[in-house]
Chain A
């Protein structure tokens, strides 16, 4: 009896094709759209990338961090310092800032990884607070009241806005590709095995500690990129804005709405968040309370999220990362793999 491993379906390939076409169409926005649309996109792009990284950590790595804003803020401040003090083009500084955030994650992980579960979450929050208070004491970047990004001063407003938009679009595509390819790689398979059972994965020779570190570093890279991008667009930075815990609050909301532990989750969640923000953000405290209650309700009653619901209903994933073993002898549907983990077609986790 021969067997093949299914890694994508015609439906998922079509979905990726449509996604690519949408990206190309979106890239032409500066020629026909309004600049307020571009600003909105850049803002939601930052939320999305941050949420994507939180999903990678919590949904795949089992690390529920409440302190990823440490890397978001660090990315922003590194970008600003490279631009203002070294005269580097801020757009070019974005990937460098992301890299610095990833490097900073190495020593930070030494501390954070000493705590597990819920105490890991609050520990990462303390670390983010240490970042915030430390930078608030650096007078070169304006201390507690913050400073402005002056490096973009010579550039015309239209050029700046268009470039920011394109860079944001590029960052979104890069973030999706980074997570998608990471999860489809051998390391990604190991990570999903850890998610399903840490003990079983370890017994199969998966280096659990090394994998967790890798995920933590990748997530710090993504969060740093989001932070650098956000403050290129915002032009003004302060410790409270850069290291605020509300970044994590919104990320949790986006991921829980869209569905944790699946790549489509943050995408769907970010769209929902954008729509809610547009219609209800004027309600201030009531809106925030609503978001909190919705996150609680989703966790208690609808943990699969919208992404999981769609997957169950439509029977395909846009960006599949699972490997499904298809035994030729068994009667199997031609195109659609079993939606839920099926007994007939077990997931291969080796």
Chain B
């Protein structure tokens, strides 16, 4: 049982990286990015394509990929997504849903339907002894540490920097923030740029840890979303804990029957929604 829970926590680290971008974009501009999962998959494939060009190591691939993702996110928000924002959520939902279909089919055309993975080198086989006969893989542990660092970093960014203050200001009251001299279109674009960098990182890790295939996107979106809701909207630490809860739930379900992992995760999500609709760690407004 300890083994299952530890595996679940490690899986949760990956889910946390899936969900931070979604949580960030929703938090800053109430934009629900339905293409989140497909973008993660696209990030994974991009890393697989870039790695051989930069010497084959995934760290190099990441160093190239993250700034590119940042720029793509900025451009996409500036040119397309800013036009869809408003009181009505419909335009942004339809546009990101359309984007999800375009990405899925473009990946299918480029890479075929076969699952692919990124070579992790010696990290893939390395493991650490936690005492007794419990071992954890180095790579999953690295992912969990990265998730922890990203969550702490985002929280710090939001509470202690001028950019974070701008994010909070446009989120609370866009018009008032604009009156104070903030360019909300630019602030939104920076938020999406940051979210896309996180998405690329998540894609990279997904490609290292398991495989990516063009049809995976929707499921990854659902995991990201469930993590956000279980944890409670509006707090990155909430999202982190929500992702761990989801990871553990899936591992426990998986232990009962290999076909039940995802299903059991969904059920835990619905149970939390029923009992604690504001998540396990609701953040009071203000």
Contacts and interface: CB of A to CB of B under 8 A. Distances in A.
Interface of A: 58, 62, 64, 66, 110-111, 114-115, 117-119, 121-123, 125-127, 129-130, 133-134, 136-137, 245, 249, 252, 256, 260, 285-286, 288-289, 291-293, 295-296, 299-300, 303
Contacts of B102: 289, 292-293, 296
Interface of B: 26, 30-32, 34, 80, 83-84, 88-95, 97-102, 104-106, 108-109, 218, 221-222, 225-226, 228-229, 233, 259-260, 262-263, 266-267, 269-270, 273-274, 277
A64 B83 CA distance: 18
A286 B90 CA distance: 25
A10 B192 CA distance: 51
Contact of B225 (A122, A127, A136): A122
B93 A64 contact: yes
B273 A115 contact: yes
A258 B87 CA distance: 22
12 contacts: A114-B277, A119-B26, A119-B229, A123-B273, A126-B266, A129-B266, A130-B266, A133-B263, A292-B105, A295-B101, A299-B84, A300-B83
Given A115-B229, A126-B270, A127-B270, A121 B105 contact: no
Contacts of B26: 118-119
Given A126-B226, A296-B95, A286 B270 contact: no
B222 A293 contact: no
A295 B89 CA distance: 15
B234 to A, nearest CB: 12
B84 to A, nearest CB: 7
A97 B12 CA distance: 39
Given A285-B108, A289-B101, A289-B106, A119 B32 contact: yes
A288 B259 CA distance: 30
A118 B30 contact: yes
Contacts, number: 124
A118 B266 contact: no
Contacts of B89: 64, 117-118, 121
A296 B94 contact: yes
A114 B97 contact: no
A299 B259 contact: no
Contacts of A122: 32, 34, 221-222, 225
A293 B221 CA distance: 20
A214 B166 CA distance: 41
B222 A130 contact: no
Contacts of A303: 91
Contacts of A245: 218
A72 B179 CA distance: 48
B267 A119 contact: no
Nearest to A130: B266
Given A293-B98, A299-B94, A121 B32 contact: yes
Contact of B269 (A126, A137, A249, A252): A126
Given A121-B93, A286-B109, 6 more contacts: A66-B97, A118-B93, A125-B218, A129-B266, A130-B263, A292-B102
Nearest to A260: B90
Contacts of B221: 122
Contacts of A285: 105-106, 108-109
B164 to A, nearest CB: 23
A93 to B, nearest CB: 27
Contacts of B277: 114
A291 B101 contact: yes
Nearest to A256: B94
Nearest to A144: B259
Contacts of A293: 98, 102
A295 B91 contact: no
A114 B273 contact: yes
A288 B101 contact: yes
A207 to B, nearest CB: 21
A118 B31 contact: yes
A293 to B, nearest CB: 6
Given A66-B34, A119-B26, A285-B108, A125 B222 contact: yes
B11 to A, nearest CB: 18
Nearest to A293: B102
A154 B101 CA distance: 41
A302 to B, nearest CB: 12
B34 A252 contact: no
Given A293-B102, A299-B91, A126 B222 contact: yes
Contacts of A286: 105, 109
B281 to A, nearest CB: 16
Nearest to B266: A130
A119 B225 CA distance: 8
Contacts of B90: 58, 64, 260
Contact of A296 (B98, B218, B226): B98
Question: Would you list the 10 A-B pairs with minimal beta carbon distance, nearest first?
Answer: A118-B32, A292-B101, A296-B98, A292-B102, A285-B105, A117-B89, A133-B263, A295-B98, A114-B277, A292-B98
A174 B202 CA distance: 48
A252 B260 CA distance: 31
A49 B31 CA distance: 29
